[in-house]
Structure formats: C-alpha cells, structure tokens
C-alpha cells in the first residue's frame, strides 16, 4: 500500500509537467540543434540543451498550472488535475515551478547568452503574456501561445549556430502555424468546458465553421513552412516525401472535419496534429544525423 502511495505521488507530480506536451516541445528544441549540422554538434552540448530546456519548459508548465488552477476547477476535463483536486499543495507546486525555471534559465545563459535570451523570451511569452495577460481576455491569445511554442526549436538552432538565421525563424514559424491546428481542434472538442470557465476562444467568437476553416489554413501553412525549412536544410527527397505524406493525411482529416464535422473526427485531428509534429521532428533528426 505504501509503495502504491509513493507511485501515486510521483504520478501526480509528473502530471504537473504535462509530459507529452512538454516532451514534444523539448523534441523541437533538440531538432533545432540537430538542424545546425554543418556546425558540428557536440553530444555534451546536446545533453546540456536537453536539460536546460526541460527545466524551463517543465517549470513554465507547472507555473501555468498554478495560475490556471481556478479555471481547471471549472472544467470537466481538468478538474482532476493535481492542484484543483487537492493532490498537491499550492506552495509546493509554486516552489517547484520557480526553482525549475530559475535553474533552467541560469543553465541556459551559461551555455550561450543568445540561447539564454531566446529561452527567456519563450518563457515570458508563455507565462506572462499568454497565460497571465491574454488567455482570459482575448481569443487572439493563441497567437502568443504559438510564438512561445516556436521558441524551443529556434533556441536549439541558435545554440548550434551561435546566431539567429532565416531557417531558424522559418522553423519557429512552422510551429506557430501548427499550434492552431492542435489548439483550435481542442477548443471545438471541449467547447462547453471553455465556455463554463469563461475562456474566450476562436470558436466562441466566430463559430465552428470558420474555426474549422482556420484549422485547414493553419495545417497547410505549417506544412509549407516546415517543408520549405527542411528543404533549405538539404533534407533528401525520401524524407521530404515522408513529410509530404504526413501533410497529406493531416490535410485530409482537416477537410473531412470541415465538410462532415463530428466529435470523433475532431478528436482524430487533435491527436494526429500531435503525431504530425512528432513525425516531422523525427524525420528531420533522422534525415540530418
């Protein structure tokens, strides 16, 4: 029984990090570093990159959970999260998030000043601008959340190159465009939850049909930006064909959701949006290593 309690406590604390979401963002950072293959990667630096990004991304996620605990308590899909469910104390979660962010930022600046600045920008965009300032005020907050989501891949490339270049910006832009595919589909699927919590969303402002159209546009834009960036990196046609296949599948799902919307199709698109980005990152890493 004691062992089960220990496992439950570990599980509760891990859930504060939103493991899959944080892991996906971390993977984009590693991909950004690998994309600078002409600069000759260092395995030790790659590990330091992973450690520093994990701390900042994880810490930011925990602090977002702390700030949004009142919202989570009003939404059926989040009411059982550790903070609204009372499984973890507020002070513990707050201290965990602050320590992780502080340690991650110090580590980032020790690796490179420019890398540290990019990581810091991502943290500020996500925590202060998106979560604290805009999320509860405007449906356009998603754009700032998208900008913060693009920072890890840009940070990784900056650490590899030592500078910000056009390809790094293009890869970050692809993440910015991908995020609406993921989040807008999520907003539609859990529309009542967001309305209950009084969170303004694109679908609550413009309706379902325009939102589904925006999902198609963002999916297409993300795939074009990602494909252009990877082509510029010199990825071979075999790997680009794999990316094209993933793009075709997500576009088909988006069009079907637009023409014949259903909860089942929305959920399929939501899941595949994550799979698409995971696949794109893995294709890039394997194709460049």
Distance CA 183, CA 266 (A): 11
Assess if residue 171 is contained within a domain. Answer: yes
Number of domains forming the structure of the chain? 1
State both tokens at 119. 């990581």
Assess if residue 3 is contained within a domain. Answer: no
Contact indicator for 176, 165 with CB cutoff of 8 Å: no
Q: Give me the pLDDT at residue 41, please.
A: 62
Assess if residue 138 is contained within a domain. Answer: yes
Distance CA 36, CA 131 (A): 31
Assess if residue 121 is contained within a domain. Answer: yes
State both tokens at 135. 């999320």
Contacts of 206 (CB under 8 A, 6+ apart): none
Distance CA 209, CA 218 (A): 14
- Domain boundaries, position 69: 18-288
Assess if residue 5 is contained within a domain. Answer: no
Residue-level pLDDT, tens digit, the chain, 289 residues: 566 666 677 777 888 888 888 999 999 999 999 998 765 567 889 999 999 999 999 999 999 999 999 999 999 888 999 999 998 999 999 999 999 999 999 999 999 999 999 999 999 999 999 999 999 999 999 999 999 999 999 999 999 999 999 999 999 999 999 888 888 988 998 999 999 999 999 999 999 999 988 988 888 888 889 989 989 998 888 999 998 899 889 889 888 888 988 878 878 888 888 898 999 999 999 988 7
Assess if residue 257 is contained within a domain. Answer: yes
Instruction: Look up the CATH number of the domain holding residue 234.
Output: 1.10.357.140
Q: Give me the pLDDT at residue 40, please.
A: 58
Assess if residue 2 is contained within a domain. Answer: no
State both tokens at 66. 């702390």
Assess if residue 7 is contained within a domain. Answer: no
Other residues' Cβ atoms within 10 Å of the Cβ of residue 251: 15
Q: Give me the pLDDT at residue 185, please.
A: 87
Contacts of 5 (CB under 8 A, 6+ apart): none
Distance CA 154, CA 25 (A): 11
């Amino acid at each position: 029984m004691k062992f089960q309690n220990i496992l439950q406590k570990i599980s509760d604390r891990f859930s504060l990090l939103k493991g899959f979401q944080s892991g996906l963002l971390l993977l984009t950072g590693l991909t950004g570093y690998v994309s600078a293959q002409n600069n000759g990667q260092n395995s030790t630096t790659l590990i330091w990159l992973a450690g520093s990004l994990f701390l900042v991304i994880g810490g930011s996620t925990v602090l977002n959970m702390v700030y949004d605990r009142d919202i989570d308590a009003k939404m059926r899909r989040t009411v059982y999260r550790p903070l609204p469910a009372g499984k973890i104390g507020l002070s513990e979660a707050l201290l965990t998030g602050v320590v992780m962010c502080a340690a991650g930022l110090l580590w980032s600046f020790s690796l490179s000043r420019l890398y540290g600045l990019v990581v810091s920008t991502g943290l500020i965009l996500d925590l202060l601008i998106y979560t604290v300032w805009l999320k509860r005020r405007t449906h356009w907050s998603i754009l700032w959340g998208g900008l913060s989501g693009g920072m890890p891949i840009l940070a990784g490339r900056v650490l590899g190159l030592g500078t910000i270049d056009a390809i790094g910006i293009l890869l970050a832009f692809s993440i910015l465009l991908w995020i609406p595919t993921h989040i807008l589909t999520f907003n539609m699927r859990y529309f009542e939850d967001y309305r209950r919590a009084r969170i303004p969303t694109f679908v609550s402002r413009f309706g379902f049909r325009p939102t589904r159209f925006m999902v198609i546009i963002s999916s297409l834009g993300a795939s074009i930006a990602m494909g252009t960036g990877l082509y510029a990196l010199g990825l071979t046609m075999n790997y680009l064909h794999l990316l094209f296949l993933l793009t075709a599948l997500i576009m088909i799902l988006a069009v079907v959701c637009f023409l014949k919307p259903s909860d089942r199709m929305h959920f399929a698109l939501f899941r595949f949006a994550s799979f698409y980005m995971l696949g794109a990152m893995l294709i890039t890493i394997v194709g460049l290593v």
